[in-house]
Chains A and B, each alone.
Chain A
Amino acid sequence: MGELGPDDGAGNTYSLRPGLQHRFKSSSVKECIHVILKEKLANVQYNPEEMPELTKSLSETIKDRLKEEGYDRYKMVVQVVIGEQRGEGVNMAARCFWDADTDSCAHDVFMNVGRGSTRHKVFSVLF
């Protein structure tokens, strides 16, 4: 039992539930997403060749940014959808099966005047 380290009587230190400071905060994550979307998509026109790369890099950027926020006990899923505005109808829905106490999601929509609109959802699940 001595190999657990110098801490005497600390016992188990693996916390099953996050404290208030470590919870996933939807509102601050939504802010982050909004800032990134505005910065990356401000004057972008829809271009079928460039869009796949842009979509992928957006989701990577957001995921990396969130890792810096310090949610280290959380697993994250970031999904980005970019569509061209041509008057078509689009609808998106999501459902989740998780622990409502600790897990949550944040989402944001960005539309620009040109020809693109991005719906973006971040889900985070505690493990």
Chain B
Amino acid sequence: MDEFQSGEEASFVVDEVSSIIKEAIEGAIGGNAYQHSKVNQWTTGVVEQTLSQLTKLGKPFKYIVTCVIMQKNGAGLHTASSCFWDNSSDGTCTVRWENKTMYCIVSAFGLAI
């Protein structure tokens, strides 16, 4: 029995991934102010939560999730990514989130197997 079908199941759905990321951010750093001692644990928390929810989707994808948390200080930050992949099946989703004291940028990349 060929269970491994490509088609609608094997595509990167940006909205679904975006909502997973937002929930992970809210859960990990929702009402908190920037604290240097905790930021390490927050970034790993966001990333691990996002990754575990993505893998629960059960799609035939490999995932890469990155998270940058920056304190609001008037400084500028730029991120760019370029990818060498198959445009029809692979995708990316980036979510920018902020509160009064910090910015959080999470990028998730999904590569079809």
A binding-site residues for B, Cβ under 8 Å? 46, 48, 51-52, 54-56, 58-60, 62-63, 66-67, 74-99, 103, 121, 123, 125, 127
| CB of B84 within 8 Å of the partner chain | yes
> Do A77 and B78 have beta carbons less than 8 Å apart?
no
Separation of A64 and B79 alpha carbons in the complex (Å): 18
Separation of A87 and B47 alpha carbons in the complex (Å): 25
**The residue from B51, B109, B113 contacting A123, defined by CB atoms under 8 A apart:** B109
> Do B65 and A96 have beta carbons less than 8 Å apart?
yes
Separation of A83 and B77 alpha carbons in the complex (Å): 4
> Do A98 and B75 have beta carbons less than 8 Å apart?
no
Interface flags, B66-102, vs A, CB<8A=1, else 0: 1111111111111111111110001010000000000
B binding-site residues for A, Cβ under 8 Å? 34, 36, 39-40, 42-44, 46-48, 50-51, 54-55, 62-86, 90, 92, 107, 109, 111-113
Task: List the B residue with the shortest CB-CB distance to A88.
Answer: B73
> Do A90 and B68 have beta carbons less than 8 Å apart?
yes
- Quick one: given A90-B69, A94-B64, A94-B65, are A125 and B111 in contact (CB under 8 Å)? yes
Separation of A58 and B80 alpha carbons in the complex (Å): 9
User: What are 25 of the A-B contact pairs (CB < 8 Å)?
Assistant: A52-B80, A58-B80, A63-B82, A75-B83, A75-B85, A75-B86, A75-B111, A77-B92, A77-B109, A81-B78, A81-B79, A82-B79, A83-B70, A86-B73, A89-B36, A90-B69, A90-B71, A92-B67, A94-B67, A96-B64, A97-B54, A97-B63, A98-B62, A98-B63, A125-B111
